Homo-oligomer: A and B are copies of this chain.
Amino acid sequence: MDIKTYIDKLANLKIDKMYQNDFLLTWEKTDDEIEAVFTVADALRKLRENNVSAKVFDSGLAVSLFRDNSTRTRFSFASASNLLGLAVQDLDEGKSQIAHGETVRETANMVSFMADVIGIRDDMYIGKGNTYMREVAHAVQQGFDDGVLEQRPTIVNLQCDIDHPTQSMADMLHIIHHFGGVENLKGKKIAMSWAYSPSYGKPLSVPQGVIGLMTRFGMDVTLAHPEGYEVMSDTIKVAQDNAVKHGGKFIKTNDMAEAFKDADIVYPKSWAPYAAMEKRTILYGNGDDAGIKALEKELLAHNASHKDWECTEELMKLTRGGNALYMHCLPADITGISCEEGEVAASVFDRYRDPLYKEAGFKPYIIAAMMFLAKCKNPSAILEMIAKRGHVRQMINDK
């Protein structure tokens, strides 16, 4: 598609409420809003491929607030910010006084005097991450309303305890491109499956994000996991409602093979049981080190009893044509490579390396699109101005 097509498509979507708003959960967004993110992401990529600068900002800051380590999300956020013309400023707890009793409200305002975007990753504790993001959003809204802030920074959820919207949206855009358009997804089966990992306490935001988003496209979404590895019930409800509304299916099973059977897409990935994560959050809150250690031991033992939940060649053969699209948010626990026994057989992973990397490659554009739609009042018109302006990203010899 050429840039004009994206501009026109965008012009026809009802997306007024995205302006000056945040992106915290995909299921808070309308179908038009979700489509707008995909459209802008594709448009920004097209522009960059054609060496056209998509800088919307001449200056301004993008604050990155990561509560845990991360390579790919950090770089995706940096790339997206840079693409639009913002400089990244890290708010690391080590560097800041955030840990020394400052209130969220105060810190949020103090870092936002010239901030256009705040990207937050806070996925460690159940009930905390998303709540924290809303507190920050509330604080900067208040600061803006009270005349403290000259602009209202947009909060982008870079992973919380509930959802991982930049991941699930990148995953979805990958699926859309893989199958040649959203119109081809009706009835396609995706298996979001738990898989064994020798580590414990992996966040639930990926499976929750996937079932919460993929059920909106008329797909058959199957969530598979061993008994006891339930995800947050609210997100199950979201998935069920979506399936009904969008004419798809949402099925739960405790059988990995059943999930893989005739699947067009498989997404095998480890996560911790929701109940255990809730328990852990309480133990951390109480500073109960002995309790945390005991829980860790219990969870690892629990995991170890499900080593058969591995995405093997045998399981892949059950999928449609034996060649379902294998997906993962990376890094994966690859059997014999990154661990002795893990989520996926090395041969399977290796065969899908390029698609996996491409899947990850959508994330910077998804993040940039979320920023773009929140910061530009008339995004379609701005896209058109950018295309017409035609500033080169890198100087080339045009003689």
Residues of A within 8 A of B (CB): 45, 48-49, 53, 55-61, 63, 69-72, 74-76, 78-79, 82-83, 85, 87-89, 91, 94-98, 100-103, 105-107, 109-111, 113-114, 116, 143, 146-150, 330-331, 337-339, 353-354, 357-358, 360-361, 363-364, 375-378, 381-382, 385-386, 391-397, 399
Contacts and interface: CB of A to CB of B under 8 A. Distances in A.
A48, A87, A395 interface centre (most CB from chain B within 10 Å): A395
Nearest to A97: B71
Contact of A61 (B78, B114, B148): B78
Given A71-B95, A97-B331, 7 more contacts: A57-B394, A69-B96, A70-B97, A113-B360, A143-B357, A148-B361, A378-B397
Given A59-B55, A59-B393, A107-B71, A87 B87 contact: yes
A300 B96 CA distance: 24
B354 A146 contact: yes
Given A339-B101, A354-B146, A377-B397, A58 B55 contact: yes
Chain multiplicity (copies) = 3
A91 B69 CA distance: 11
**Which 7 A/B pairs are nearest by Cβ-Cβ distance?**
A79-B114, A71-B96, A381-B397, A378-B397, A101-B338, A148-B357, A53-B58
Contacts of A48: 114, 150
B357 A109 contact: yes
B74 A61 contact: no
A89 B87 CA distance: 10
